[in-house]
Copies of this chain bind each other. A is one copy, B any other.
């Protein structure tokens, strides 16, 4: 049996009892490398928090390993219980559909243990989940690669009065230019997009298109470390949020559509109070 177990968003205590039961039963535990790094703030040492809780070692599987060795993992799961641990929900923002399809094709049974993901936990900002349009991803721009297909999607959502969740780029295990030239694998340090960078890129794209889909005065909510003890949620215009230091990853951004009164009341708690963009705690965590 292959268990795909969602770990939630914050720390090791966000696993469900059902998930922990499965983990205890499994002979081998795999976990995606970048999830442990970016979401749980774990280093090689830090991993032991999870391992202590689970009572067994975890094999860190980076993207290459998952791609290269998935058949080994799956044939292992044919004869024993194997768990694949993922941050958030197994089918949240990062999808594991492909893993399920490959497992099923090989005749391996799959059990999914759900958990919170950004796609529903984002509800804490006060905007109703059923009033969101299509989710967009904002990729890191480079000198030569500045894709902006998100612009049209945001425009459509906003024309319909819908909110837009913007997922921000994460780059892990990107080969360095040098390593590509020399044929030896060396990697750039992991990068995650800040809310500030996302807003800069969004405004650049608006300027290019010039169709006023949104602008500096558009209401947004910036969310950092959603679901963690030190999560930070700030509502304000794009211009205001540009000045806020949201701190450590992960970040995401919501562009606010038409609001209902209860949504406005909730946003009020998260609003920037003063001109210098200072933001005090709001007693919701």
Interface residues of A (CB under 8 A from B): 6, 8-18, 20-21, 88-93, 95, 97-98, 100-101, 104, 109-112, 114-117, 119-124, 126, 128-137, 156, 160, 162, 167, 227, 262-263, 265-266, 269, 282-285
Contact = CB atoms under 8 A, between A and B. Distances in A.
A129 B18 contact: no
A30 B284 CA distance: 19
A283 B120 contact: no
A120 B131 contact: no
Contact of A13 (B18, B95, B162, B262): B18
Given A13-B18, A97-B128, A134 B162 contact: yes
A122 B8 CA distance: 16
A120 B110 contact: no
B91 A123 contact: yes
Nearest to A18: B13
17 contacts: A10-B114, A13-B17, A14-B17, A14-B18, A17-B20, A89-B121, A91-B122, A92-B129, A95-B129, A97-B128, A98-B262, A100-B126, A101-B269, A114-B121, A119-B123, A130-B134, A132-B134
B131 A134 contact: yes
A16 B93 contact: no
A120 B123 contact: no
A9 B113 CA distance: 10
Contacts of A133: 133-134
Contacts of A124: 90-91, 112, 114
Contacts of A21: 13
Contacts of A135: 129-130, 132
Contact of A90 (B18, B95, B123, B131): B123
Contacts of A6: 116
A250 to B, nearest CB: 15
A134 B160 contact: yes
A13 B20 CA distance: 9
Contacts of A162: 134
Nearest to A263: B97
Nearest to A136: B130
B97 A284 contact: no
A8 to B, nearest CB: 6
B115 A95 contact: no
A101 B261 CA distance: 11
A119 B129 CA distance: 8
